[in-house]
Structure 1
Amino acid sequence: MWLDAYSSDVFQAFSSPHLVWIGIIAAVVWLLFVLRHQIRSRDKLRAWLRWLLAAILLASEVCLQCWYIQQQVWDASRTLPLELCSITLLLSSVMLMTRSRLLYQFLFFAGIAGALQAVVTPNLAYDFPHFRFIQFFVAHAAIILASLYMTWVEGCRPTWKSIGLAMLFLNGCALIVWIADLLLDANYMFLRGKPDTPSLLDLLGPYPYYILAEEAVAFMFFSCMLLLFKLLSGKRESASEEITA
């Protein structure tokens, strides 16, 4: 039953399994933050973790595509990796393998924000312990961890310029995906309609106005992320100066 594409176990938002997985992701993020100095100071450990995260990202997408085929539900209009989180997943694996600071400028914002929104309000049909449930949360956790790894271990830093690059990249992706939607009669990135399950898009008005509202929300969210990052970084630097004084 855990692989059945027609399973009757329907996902329920903020159910016990959902909250447990949110807690697991939060705990792993906290652990990465706590151990960041130890990881950074050990070259082999740093490389091992970087490649492990990249492998998890790629494996999660490969396994998902294999599941679609095995269950005979693969459909170009629904199962191609053209959702924002699928795009950021693949780019996150490339970022980790190449340690690309250019990709980081986009993924720190779009990757973390998109995956975080997906974790809190999943567009998901299957409940735990279905394969799709586990794959969904593992993949989105890895997207978040990839950018945090680059920040806390590799020393990358987001800037105000990063927000501009992220917005340009996001709109470029949307344009390409919108063309694909028209050609495939699809609705990737929800550019032709809202998802069937509850999401933050429900608060942004009807189609197509919610797409314009998304632009403003994304810019505000990215700005808040950067301000929070600078605030926390400033506090850590002040604390370090006090200790060494």
Structure 2
Amino acid sequence: MDWLGSGSWVDAYAPEGFEAFTPSHGLAVLGLIVCVLLLWLTRGWIGSHKPVSEGIRWLLITILILAEVTLNIWYVAQHIWDVQTSLPLELCSVTLLLSILMLIFRSRWLYPIILFAGIGGALQAVLTPNLAYAFPHYRFIHFFVAHSAIILAALYMTWIAGFRPTWKSVGGVMLFLNGLALMVWIVDRALGANYMFLTGKPSTPSILDVLGPYPIYILAEEVIALLFFSLLMLLFEVLPGGRLYVRLRKGAVYGDDGVL
């Protein structure tokens, strides 16, 4: 793996650092937006052509697997794999692995976790990256491709596979996140690590900087997560295919039980 041991595009000690809201960052975000819009606009056509829909599903699976495998190869080749920083215990690492399982098994149990926690965590990462490397470094490309694939995996299962979230699943995902946070916090304490930033803020600028000191920002994250999940749920309700959208299209604002 000598070819991974040198060269500025893979060097773990590359001097040029990432800066948010630069043209390269903007293009990465724009690329995600274009992919989301294309998936939305072509959802009907993709859904009616099984070879295409299956091809996209396996493409996303392949991208997500390669993202995790190549990252660990890079850690090892650069001699920086460390139990305190390299385990897949960040929220996006967990949702990436769960996204693979969701896509392979078409899991309805994992779907709301990826839809809410996956999109929430990946979107925050894309907009305010905790990243040290600028384009065209491998880690820059890996970071945005992996996080974008998590978002697209959730949207694929919604728009192409026809899965739908429920308000009950919002509470279920909140319980999952708190259970996950407790387990990761225990690992953090045992290893002296800071996975999911449960023992301190990241060294690079992030949204956590405006949420108060430790541990107040963790409580603030809980509130923000619940609000974001609720807004996301409402968005899927009013988009074509959502239950509220269907009711309004039929001219009925209230359901049979009299509840909106």
Normalised by the length of structure 2, the TM-score is 0.90
Q: How does 1:12-23 map to 2 (within 5 A)?
A: 12-23=19-30
Letter in 1 for 2:149: A
State the Cα deviation string for residues 7-40 of structure 1 (Å, max 9, x = none): 0110000000000010011001101111111111
Q: Is the 8 A contact 1:40 1:153 kept in 2?
A: yes
Larger Rg: 2
Q: Which residue of 1 aligns with 2:224?
A: 217
- Pick from 31, 36, 39 the counterpart of residue 29 of structure 1: 36
Gaps of 5+ in 1: none
Letter in 1 for 2:23: S
Fraction of identical pairs, as percent: 57
Gaps of 5+ in 2: 1-7, 252-260
Q: Which residue of 1 aligns with 2:3?
A: none
Q: Secondary structure at the match of 1:59?
A: helix
2:97 is the counterpart of 1:83: no
State the Cα deviation string for residues 98-149 of structure 1 (Å, max 9, x = none): 0001100111100001100000000000000000000000000000000000
Distance in 2 separating the partners of 1:239 and 1:48: 34
- Pick from 95, 114, 123 the counterpart of residue 107 of structure 1: 114
Q: Which residue of 1 aligns with 2:174?
A: 167
2:150 is the counterpart of 1:143: yes
Q: Which residue of 2 aligns with 1:188?
A: 195
Q: Secondary structure at the match of 1:101?
A: coil
2:11 is the counterpart of 1:4: yes
**Segments of 4+ in structure 1 off by > 6 A?**
238-242
State the Cα deviation string for residues 164-212 of structure 1 (Å, max 9, x = none): 1110111111111111111111000000000111111112110011111
Letter in 2 for 1:24: G
Q: Is the 8 A contact 2:14 2:133 kept in 1?
A: yes
Normalised by the length of structure 1, the TM-score is 0.95
Distance 1:92 1:206, change over 3 A: same
Letter in 1 for 2:220: A
Q: Which residue of 1 aligns with 2:256?
A: none
2:213 is the counterpart of 1:206: yes
Distance in 2 separating the partners of 1:180 and 1:198: 24
Q: Is the 8 A contact 2:119 2:154 kept in 1?
A: yes
- Pick from 34, 51, 60 the counterpart of residue 53 of structure 1: 60
Q: Which residue of 2 aligns with 1:65?
A: 72
Distance in 2 separating the partners of 1:139 and 1:190: 20
RMSD over aligned Cα atoms: 1.6
Q: May I ask how many residue pairs the two structures share in their alignment?
A: 242
Between Structure 1 and Structure 2, the one with more helix by share is 1
